[in-house]
């Protein structure tokens, strides 16, 4: 008899600095005993809901998803000493976005995002019906840089995918070098996508971090759209990458 669909699980966990991280683990339909899991780290200044199209597509392909609100975003604003909330751009210019991002990175502690991702992935792997040997990290913008930095600490990792990975200096001046070193050492298949004229250096990051690494694929699309704004430009390729790397059991 087929198992009825599992209700989504609501995640609530404490980060290293006491901030409470919130997220939702959603299972595919079907009767699998253990599903692969993709952990989704969104961009500033969005929420977990920005991954809705990807969540829908992954569930259709039999991949469970754990989308969470990054620190200071959405429901992840409860700190040990009161609310912790990102700053908002003052207008529509890239410079205003940059200033708000830098202020948020300092005030909210974006340098902790990679550790947050590790904790979220460990929580997801501990749930029933998750195959702990088939995990993927997917990150957008600062969530992409965080996912790349978190990757060496995630057990059972089969794939890493980013769209417009950016904001690496929020993790420290040496973060770009650490990302490159992690990709070199890990050997986990990676897919780095960006628009060509991304204002936040997504294309430059993808190109420099992947150079000479046969297990790291890049996809640069036309335009200047940032992070999840390019999802439908890379959708089929990204989904095929994740599905192929998560298909075989460990």
pLDDT surpassing 70 at residue 120: yes
Q: Can you give the pLDDT at residue 2? A: 53
Q: Per residue in 25-64, pLDDT tens?
A: 999 987 778 999 999 999 999 999 999 999 999 999 999 9
Residues 113-120, mean pLDDT to the nearest whole number: 98
Q: Can you give the pLDDT at residue 52? A: 98
Taken in order of first residue, the domains within the chain and their CATH numbers are 9-246 (3.40.50.1820)
Q: Can you give the pLDDT at residue 1? A: 44
CA distances in angstroms from 200 to 98, 136, 164, 187, listed in the order given:
9, 24, 8, 26
Residues 4-18, mean pLDDT to the nearest whole number: 91
Burial label for 103, CB within 10 Å (0-12, 13-18, 19+), is middle
pLDDT surpassing 70 at residue 248: no
pLDDT surpassing 60 at residue 198: yes
Using CA atoms, how far apart are residues 75 and 58, in angstroms rounded to an integer? 23
pLDDT surpassing 80 at residue 115: yes
pTM given for the model: 0.96
Q: Per residue in 162-197, pLDDT tens?
A: 999 999 999 999 999 999 999 999 899 999 999 999
Query: What is 43-63 written as a DSSP string?
Result: -TT--GGGGHHHHHHHHHTT-
What is the Cβ-side half-sphere exposure of residue 194, based on CA atoms within 13 angstroms? Answer: 24
């Amino acid at each position: 008899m087929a198992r009825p669909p599992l209700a989504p699980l609501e995640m609530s966990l404490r980060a290293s600095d006491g901030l409470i991280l919130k997220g939702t683990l959603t299972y595919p339909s079907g009767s699998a005993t253990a599903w692969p899991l993709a952990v989704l780290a969104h961009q500033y200044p969005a929420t977990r809901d920005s991954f809705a199209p990807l969540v829908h597509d992954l569930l259709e392909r039999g991949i469970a998803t754990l989308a969470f609100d990054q620190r200071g975003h959405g429901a992840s604003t409860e700190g040990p000493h009161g609310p912790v909330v990102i700053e908002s751009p003052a207008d529509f210019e890239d410079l205003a976005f940059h200033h708000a991002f830098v202020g948020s990175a300092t005030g909210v502690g974006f340098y902790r995002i990679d550790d947050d991702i590790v904790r979220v992935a460990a929580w997801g792997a501990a749930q029933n019906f998750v195959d702990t040997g088939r995990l993927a990290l997917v990150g957008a913008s600062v969530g992409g840089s965080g996912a790349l930095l978190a990757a060496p600490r995630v057990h059972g990792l089969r794939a890493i995918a980013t769209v417009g990975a950016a904001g690496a200096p929020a993790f420290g001046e040496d973060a770009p070098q650490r990302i490159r070193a992690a990709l070199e050492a890990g050997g986990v298949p990676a897919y780095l996508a960006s628009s060509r004229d991304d204002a936040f250096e997504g294309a430059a990051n993808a190109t420099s971090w992947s150079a000479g690494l046969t297990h790291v694929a890049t996809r640069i699309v036309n335009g200047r759209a940032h992070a999840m704004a390019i999802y439908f430009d890379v959708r089929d390729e990204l989904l095929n990458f994740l599905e192929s790397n998560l298909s075989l059991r460990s």
